[in-house]
Amino acid sequence: MASFSARKPITIRLCGPRGFCAGVDRAIQIVVLALKEYGAPVYVRHEIVHNRYVVEGLEAKGAIFVEELDEIPEEHRKQPVVFSAHGVPKSVPADAESRNLFYLDATCPLVSKVHKQAMRHQRLGRHVVLIGHAGHPEVIGTMGQLPEGAVSLIETVEDADNYVPPDPDNLGFVTQTTLSVDDTAGVIKRLHERFPNLTAPAADSICYATTNRQEAVKQAAPGCDLFLVVGAPNSSNSKRLVEVALRAGAKKSVLVQRASEIDWDDIGDISTVGLSAGASAPEVIVNEIIEAFRERYDASVELADTVEETENFLVNRELRHVPLTVQDMAFVNGD
Ligand code: SF4
């Protein structure tokens, strides 16, 4: 006789911190507040954060996502355009100004800090080495803070081995904020070995949210038969969590955007499942996944918390007076 008690017991190790970081929270808030203050449509250049659920939720409220500013029709030039949390090259606000567009910059303050560190290196006469992933919008934005040729991109230890700088004694580095802490340490070590005068930025470029999520996954992954990370395939910090889980001892690790993507036929004989979410993944999807397990297993949730995060970034001055309803807050928080 089939009954609930016949279901296999499993433990879900739920990592904390997980999901939305302060920069993502702020970026979503800026779009929501702009819609309330200026009315729809509000244009957003690039996915505000790398998550379809969030993007579709904002579209339903009246946001229109474009890749470039010339996609904004003439009749909507008075409506605001928001720049995404990943940051933009300097040419983008300059272009917006030349088109008389009203823009709101949702670049995460921690990405802006990396921009400042890169500019500081250059001001002090150093060639800038940026450690990051080619083509990622944050990397495009950071490289675009400085003139062409002022920044060299290094992705791997092998790149560090082969790198030929313009002046080996005058180099400064920064990194993308969402890299693997361990991999990046390896690249920096190699660069230091080859270029002992390489100058580090005044503060770590990998952000608190990336570091904390990776550390929590590292703690929870040993002994997991499966480790699920909620996140988009183009989300750098989510992909890194999958790698961290595997390296830390999870037998298998998979990136999923929704519960519907879990391949239940392929899941095998599991008793412990790790669960985390990238910085752009809302909590509502974490809950959806826990529910999907509860429908199939006798699942109990074990909290695997490491540190408590208290970071909170203020939105743009123009929007600080706009009130948020309880429903807006739930959306902004990903609940
Ligand atoms: S992951 Fe880090 S740098 Fe990126 S938005 Fe979040 S806090 Fe900012």
269-292 per-position pLDDT tens digit: 999 999 999 999 999 999 999 999
Neighbours of 125 (CB within 10 A): 9
25 CA distance to ligand 1 middle (Å): 9
Query: Average pLDDT, whole number, for the chain?
Result: 96
Is residue 1's pLDDT more than 50? Answer: no
Most informative mutation of 21, 28, 133, 212 for ligand 1 (most atoms within 8 A of CB): 21
pLDDT given at position 5: 55
DSSP 75-123: GGTTSEEEE-TT---THHHHHHHHTT-EEEE---HHHHHHHHHHHHHHH
State the Cα–Cα distance between residues 63 and 78, nearest whole angstrom: 14
Is residue 2's pLDDT more than 70? Answer: no
Q: Which residue, 283, 299, 282, is CA-closest to 291?
A: 299
Tens-digit pLDDT profile for residues 86-137:
999 999 999 999 999 999 999 999 999 999 999 999 999 999 999 999 999 9
28 lines ligand 1 (CB under 6 A): no
54 lines ligand 1 (CB under 6 A): no
Flag whether the pTM goes above 0.85: yes
208 CA distance to ligand 1 middle (Å): 8
Confidence of residue 203 (pLDDT cuts 50, 70, 90): confident
Tens-digit pLDDT profile for residues 207-258:
999 999 999 999 999 999 999 999 999 999 999 999 999 999 999 999 999 9
Tens-digit pLDDT profile for residues 33-43:
999 999 999 99
Answer whether the bond into residue 17 is a cis peptide, omega within 30°: yes
Compute the average pLDDT of residues 47-53.
91
179 lines ligand 1 (CB under 6 A): no
| Helices and strands, number each (H, E), in the chain | 11, 12
116 CA distance to ligand 1 middle (Å): 16
pLDDT given at position 14: 98
Catalogue all structural domains in the chain, each as residue range(s) with its CATH number: 4-20+208-305 (3.40.1010.20), 22-108+312-332 (3.40.50.11270), 110-194 (3.40.1010.20)
pLDDT given at position 221: 98
Q: Which atom of ligand 1 is nearest to the CA of 311?
A: 7
Most informative mutation of 25, 108, 133 for ligand 1 (most atoms within 8 A of CB): 108
82 lines ligand 1 (CB under 6 A): no
Tens-digit pLDDT profile for residues 166-199:
999 999 999 999 999 999 999 999 999 999 999 9
188 lines ligand 1 (CB under 6 A): no
Annotated catalytic residue, options 138, 302, 309, 318 = 138
- 67-73 contacts: CB < 8 A, separation 24 or more? 69/45, 69/95, 69/96, 69/99, 69/101, 70/99, 72/43, 72/99, 72/101
Of the chain, the percentage scoring pLDDT greater than 70 comes to 99
Name the closest-CA residue to atom 7, ligand 1: 23
pLDDT given at position 6: 80
30 lines ligand 1 (CB under 6 A): no
Question: Is 88 exposed, middle or buried, given 0-12, 13-18 or 19+ CB atoms closer than 10 A?
Answer: buried
Is residue 52's pLDDT more than 80? Answer: yes
Helix (H) or strand (E) holding 184: helix 181-194
307 CA distance to ligand 1 middle (Å): 17
